[in-house]
């Protein structure tokens, strides 16, 4: 049993692991150092939004913080409003309230049970893992712990290649859309906004800016020019042949075979969503069956299709986006961005349209980069990760999806496993593939807590 544990990261993954460690009955007193990095502990970037326009893309009944209580969020919300149903898609800021409340409750109980929890509102600047412990450096302070867990969430996005330094310095090219939305003020000017990307982040940006800037017009560029798929208003019935499908996939771990099996299953189902959803509890274990060559083949040829089908919009969100297009305020384009420069009147993007042979340009007052989750530790400017990478304490997974790790979250270096350095959440994408949403994170937190508390 590790008696002193450091959790680095103040978002939902860190809060969930903290709560799992502290909520176990009969647990011996623990010393937990939670480095939250500032902000409100528990909310992180994902649930830090205060806008009720930003909805969860998972139904309320499945968003509980604890693996043994998946309906916890719904219970919390029904105390506030009994009319809320389990199939509702609720605002992410409400989920942030729930995380905050659960974390506060856990900390109160922890104190009463003799646990020592130290919340440190700063970043860990450096770390030295060893086989018998981990040393953390923060400012002039040094702390030795039995085990440390990286619960960092997604990394700060870096500008896309060929974005002019002058455009970045001007503030007209935005790489951090959530910072922009947090500070945005109502404006009736006829802004011309260009968005790079058309995933769920881009959708949230569109919803908020369209409401706050009622006369703004938007152009969104992505490789395929397509929005995420849409949830049905009512939940689908489970796919009745799910067990047979998963077992057949396990027996033939080949991406071409899997795609054929999925196409056949979808052709014989009433709703393709039920086929995709039936794989969710098994995706991580299936991913681990694939060879490196098949993982690479999936990432090259099927990743975009999978993510569009897997990470879907709430139906209300899809209706709002559809209204923007119908009103002529949103135009979607297919193509590849080649560069961004600053001009006298704003910013200009050069791009190659899909199937085209010559570049075109688009002028805008503002360009917002919304290209999805950033987890590539090879390119990050995150101070701690840079130090760990430079010193050889951790390494990237082969595809730049996160940190190379064992399936149980232990981090790898030089072909071996650190026995006391772990990760949870987004940094495990390369190992587990599905590792960013609460249903997966809470399961990881439960399993990791079991390991940390084991005799």
- Would you list the domain boundaries of the chain? 4-156+375-453, 165-230+312-369, 242-310
pTM to 2 decimal places: 0.94
pLDDT, one tens digit per residue, over 69-93 is 999 999 999 999 999 999 999 999 9
pLDDT band at 372 (very low <50, low <70, confident <90, very high): confident
For the stretch 402-439, what's the b/e string if a residue is b when 16 or more beta carbons lie within 10 angstroms of its beta carbon?
Answer: bbbbeeebbbbbeeeebebbbbbbbbbbbbbbbbbbbe
* Predicted pLDDT at 40: 85
Within 10 angstroms of residue 101's Cβ, the number of other Cβ atoms is 13
pLDDT above 80 (res 1): no
Span 139-150, average pLDDT:
95
* Predicted pLDDT at 84: 97
Look up the CATH architecture of domain 4-156+375-453. 3-Layer(bba) Sandwich (3.50)
Q: Do 76 and 101 touch, CB atoms closer than 8 A?
A: yes
Q: Which two tokens stand for residue 450?
A: 């079991």
Per cent of the chain over pLDDT 70 is 100
Span 202-231, average pLDDT:
97
β strands within 211-321, DSSP E: 217-222
pLDDT, one tens digit per residue, over 19-63 is 999 988 777 899 999 999 987 888 888 898 999 999 999 999 999
Pairing of the two strands 410-413 and 347-353: unpaired
pLDDT band at 96 (very low <50, low <70, confident <90, very high): very high
pLDDT above 90 (res 137): yes
pLDDT band at 229 (very low <50, low <70, confident <90, very high): very high
- Taking the C-alpha atoms of residue 174 and residue 368, their distance in angstroms, rounded to an integer, is 5
Domain 165-230+312-369 adopts which CATH fold? FAD/NAD(P)-binding domain (3.50.50)
pLDDT above 70 (res 455): no
Span 199-215, average pLDDT:
97
Span 203-223, average pLDDT:
97
Q: Do 443 and 281 touch, CB atoms closer than 8 A?
A: no
pLDDT, one tens digit per residue, over 243-252 is 999 999 999 9
Place of tokens 């968003």: 63
| Alpha carbon of residue 216 to chain centroid | 28
To the nearest 10°, the Cα dihedral for 69, 71, 312, 324?
-140
pLDDT band at 13 (very low <50, low <70, confident <90, very high): very high
User: 376: alpha, beta or left, given left = phi > 0 and alpha = psi -120 to 50?
Assistant: beta
pLDDT, one tens digit per residue, over 381-439 is 999 999 999 999 999 999 999 999 999 999 999 889 999 999 999 999 999 999 999 99
């Amino acid at each position: 049993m590790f008696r002193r544990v450091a959790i680095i990261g103040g978002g939902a993954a860190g809060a969930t692991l903290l709560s799992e460690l502290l909520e176990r009955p009969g647990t011996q007193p623990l010393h937990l150092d939670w480095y939250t990095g500032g902000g409100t502990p528990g909310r992180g970037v994902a649930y830090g939004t205060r806008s009720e326009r930003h909805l969860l893309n998972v139904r309320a009944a499945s968003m509980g913080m604890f693996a043994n209580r998946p309906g916890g969020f719904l219970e919390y919300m029904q105390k506030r409003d009994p009319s809320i149903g389990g199939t509702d898609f609720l605002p992410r800021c409400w989920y942030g309230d729930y995380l905050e409340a659960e974390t506060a409750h856990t900390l109160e109980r922890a104190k009463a049970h003799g646990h020592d929890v130290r919340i440190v509102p700063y970043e860990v600047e450096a770390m030295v893992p060893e086989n018998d412990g981990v040393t953390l450096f923060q400012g002039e302070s040094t702390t030795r712990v039995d085990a440390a867990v990286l619960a960092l969430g997604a990394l700060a996005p870096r500008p896309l290649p060929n974005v002019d330094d002058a455009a970045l310095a001007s503030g007209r090219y935005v790489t951090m859309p959530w910072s922009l939305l947090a500070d945005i003020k109502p404006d009736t000017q006829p802004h011309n906004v260009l968005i790079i990307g058309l995933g769920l982040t881009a959708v949230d940006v569109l919803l908020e800016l369209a409401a706050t800037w009622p006369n703004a017009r938007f152009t969104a560029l992505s490789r395929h020019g397509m929005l995420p798929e849409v949830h049905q208003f009512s939940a689908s019935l489970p796919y009745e042949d799910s067990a047979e499908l998963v077992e057949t996939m396990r027996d033939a771990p080949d991406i071409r075979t899997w795609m054929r099996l999925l196409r056949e299953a979808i052709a014989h189902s009433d709703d393709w969503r039920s086929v995709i959803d039936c794989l969710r509890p098994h995706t991580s274990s299936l991913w681990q069956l694939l060879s490196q060559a098949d993982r690479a083949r999936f990432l090259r040829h099927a990743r975009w299709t999978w993510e569009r089908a897997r990470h879907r919009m709430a139906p209300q969100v899809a209706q709002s986006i559809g209204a923007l297009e119908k009103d002529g305020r949103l135009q979607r384009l297919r193509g590849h961005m080649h560069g961004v420069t600053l001009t006298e009147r704003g910013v200009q993007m050069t791009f190659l349209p899909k199937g085209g042979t010559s570049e075109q340009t688009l002028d805008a007052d503002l360009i917002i980069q919304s290209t999805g989750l950033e987890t590539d530790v090879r390119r990050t400017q995150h101070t701690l990760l840079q130090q760990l990478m430079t010193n050889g304490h951790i390494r990237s997974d082969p595809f730049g999806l996160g940190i190379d790790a064992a399936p149980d979250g232990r981090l790898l270096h030089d072909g071996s496993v650190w026995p006391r350095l772990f990760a949870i959440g987004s940094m495990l994408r390369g190992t587990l593939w599905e590792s960013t949403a609460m249903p997966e994170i809470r399961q990881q937190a439960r399993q990791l807590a079991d390991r940390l508390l084991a005799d």
